[in-house]
């Protein structure tokens, strides 16, 4: 790694340690450092240059020429056209220009093709930008979800530890069996193992987020929490409605349309090669010879340059009579490409529909699960309070208490997962509905 890049990475790592990162800061960092985004920007710039080249082909060209030489021995005097035996300096200077007046619309269609390709490349930039924002947002929410689960398990472990202390005191007094203490000790170890597992999962999601941001992984990274409780109230808008809006707002849909149109113009441009080309051209030239004399006086270079000038104007027709099948094959190749591009556009729409349909079904299922867990937690809380009261007073043993506690703890963990899963599914549908966040 080069030194400047290393310094930037170290500074970013230090910034992550020193402050709590917001979702927008993570997205901004990812957009600045995203390699695919930089690549599509370069591809868009190349497409712009190709469009400029195509436009320039419609303009007249202009070339200058300079030819300077020396004749030795017996040669033709360029001034008198007589054979002479001497050394003569000579030169010719000129300008030439030509413009294509007609080419079967081949050039014009090529210009349209390249311009459409350039416009599609600009939409590719927005597609990568939005995909980057989506990936960072989902990774960010995964970190928050795991962090919230970890906090919940830590609270569960503290509750188990408090109950264990209470039981150990009761055991010393001889009012609690040793087996009940062992049961609580096992429960506490289960909580500790859950903490370790969630800590590992949290670090994994932090690493994924860092990779989406293209910065070194930093275990001390901290993220600003997002209040997502209000985000769980959205309802399904229907896959059909989301798909209709997606066709109008997603840049990849418009890019596919433009590339399909571009391929059609490429096909028309290839067909134009079958027609004759009409080319208008002209030249302005002048010549010089050291042998030029008037009344035995040498004619100066400036006088010759001005007096010997002449011009030509020509109109030519270039007719493709036989090209070895090159034009025919170009047309067939362009037609195949046109059909493939149209098929790619259809496949793109089909894939978007499938993704929306899956996301909508997943969101509906996530909502139903979230609502069911809310009811389940309410029931388990009542059951746990009753079991805890009986356990603390010694009316009931540890088995029923641990069963009620585990049921409630598991429901709360599932609730956190379901809540964030619902938000994730809604964010994906929001992306398809609005083309942004």
Tokens of 70: 């020396």
As a whole number of angstroms, the distance between CA 222 and CA 206 comes to 9
pLDDT digits (tens, 9 = 90+) for 311-332: 999 999 999 998 889 999 999 9
Q: Lowest mean pLDDT of 10-19, 134-143, 388-397, name the range.
A: 10-19
Burial of 172 (0-12, 13-18, 19+ CB in 10 A): exposed
Neighbours of 352 (CB within 10 A): 19
Asked if the model's pLDDT at residue 64 lies above 90, the reply is yes
DSSP 8-state assignment for residue 103: S
Percentage of residues in the chain having pLDDT higher than 70: 89
Q: What is the mean pLDDT of residues 128-151?
A: 91
pLDDT digits (tens, 9 = 90+) for 414-424: 888 888 888 88
Domain ranges of the chain: 3-33+103-275+320-434, 60-102+276-319
Say which residue the tokens 């996530």 belong to.
366
Nearest Cα to Cα of residue 214 among 2, 37, 19: 37
Q: What is the mean pLDDT of residues 200-219?
A: 92
Q: Which fold has domain 3-33+103-275+320-434?
A: Outer membrane efflux proteins (OEP) (1.20.1600)
Q: Lowest mean pLDDT of 5-9, 237-241, 386-390, name the range.
A: 5-9
pLDDT at 167: 67
Phi-psi region of 306 (alpha: psi -120 to 50; beta: other; left: phi over 0): alpha
The string of DSSP letters for 348-380 reads: HHHHHHHHHHHHHHHHHHHHHHHHHHHHHHHHH
* 63-96 burial code (b ≥16 CB/10 A, e <16): eeeeeeeebeeebebbbeeeeeeeebebbbbbee
- In this prediction, residue 433 has a pLDDT band, given cuts at 50, 70 and 90, of confident
- What CATH code would you report for 60-102+276-319? 2.20.200
Torsion of CA 158, 163, 167, 170, to 10 degrees: 120
Asked if the model's pLDDT at residue 19 lies above 80, the reply is no
Supply the pTM of this predicted model: 0.80
Q: Lowest mean pLDDT of 181-195, 391-405, 413-427, name the range.
A: 391-405
Asked if the model's pLDDT at residue 51 lies above 60, the reply is yes
Nearest Cα to Cα of residue 375 among 435, 332, 418, 313: 418
pLDDT at 435: 67
Asked if the model's pLDDT at residue 293 lies above 90, the reply is no
pLDDT digits (tens, 9 = 90+) for 191-203: 889 889 999 999 9
């Amino acid at each position: 790694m080069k030194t400047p890049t290393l310094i930037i990475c170290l500074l970013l790592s230090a910034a992550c340690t020193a402050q709590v990162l917001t979702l927008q800061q993570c997205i901004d960092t990812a957009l600045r450092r995203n390699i695919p985004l930089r690549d599509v920007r370069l591809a868009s710039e190349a497409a712009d240059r190709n469009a400029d080249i195509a436009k320039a082909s419609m303009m007249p060209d202009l070339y200058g020429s300079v030819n300077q030489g020396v004749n030795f021995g017996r040669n033709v005097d360029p001034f008198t056209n007589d054979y002479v035996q001497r050394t003569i300096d000579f030169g010719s200077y000129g300008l030439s220009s030509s413009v294509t007046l007609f080419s079967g619309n081949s050039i014009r269609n090529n210009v349209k093709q390249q311009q459409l390709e350039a416009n599609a490349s600009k939409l590719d930039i927005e597609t990568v930008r939005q995909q980057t924002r989506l990936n960072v947002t989902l990774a960010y929410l995964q970190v928050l979800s795991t962090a919230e689960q970890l906090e919940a398990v830590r609270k569960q472990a503290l509750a188990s530890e408090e109950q264990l202390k209470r039981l150990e005191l009761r055991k010393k007094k001889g009012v609690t069996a040793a087996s009940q203490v062992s049961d609580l000790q096992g429960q506490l170890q289960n909580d500790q193992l859950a903490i370790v597992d969630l800590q590992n999962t949290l670090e994994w999601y932090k690493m994924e987020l860092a990779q989406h941001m293209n910065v070194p992984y930093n275990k001390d990274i901290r993220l600003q929490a997002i209040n997502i409780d209000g985000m769980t109230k959205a309802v399904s808008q229907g896959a059909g409605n989301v798909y209709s809006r997606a066709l109008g707002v997603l840049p990849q849909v418009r890019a596919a349309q433009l590339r399909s149109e571009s391929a059609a113009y490429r096909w028309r441009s290839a067909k134009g090669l079958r027609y004759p080309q009409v080319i208008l051209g002209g030249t302005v030239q002048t010549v010089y010879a050291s042998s030029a004399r008037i009344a035995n006086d040498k004619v100066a270079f400036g006088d010759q340059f001005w007096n010997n000038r002449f011009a030509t104007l020509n109109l030519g027709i270039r007719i493709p009579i036989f090209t070895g099948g090159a034009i025919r094959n170009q047309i067939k190749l362009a037609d195949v490409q046109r059909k493939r591009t149209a098929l790619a556009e259809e496949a793109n729409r089909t894939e978007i529909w499938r993704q929306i349909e899956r996301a909508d079904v997943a969101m509906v299922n996530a909502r139903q699960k979230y609502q069911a867990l809310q009811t389940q937690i309410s029931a388990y809380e009542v059951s746990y309070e009753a079991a805890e009261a009986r356990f603390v007073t010694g009316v009931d043993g540890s088995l029923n208490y641990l069963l009620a506690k585990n049921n409630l703890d598991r429901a709360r963990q599932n609730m956190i997962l379901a809540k964030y899963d619902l938000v994730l599914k809604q964010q994906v549908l929001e992306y398809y509905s609005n083309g942004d966040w």
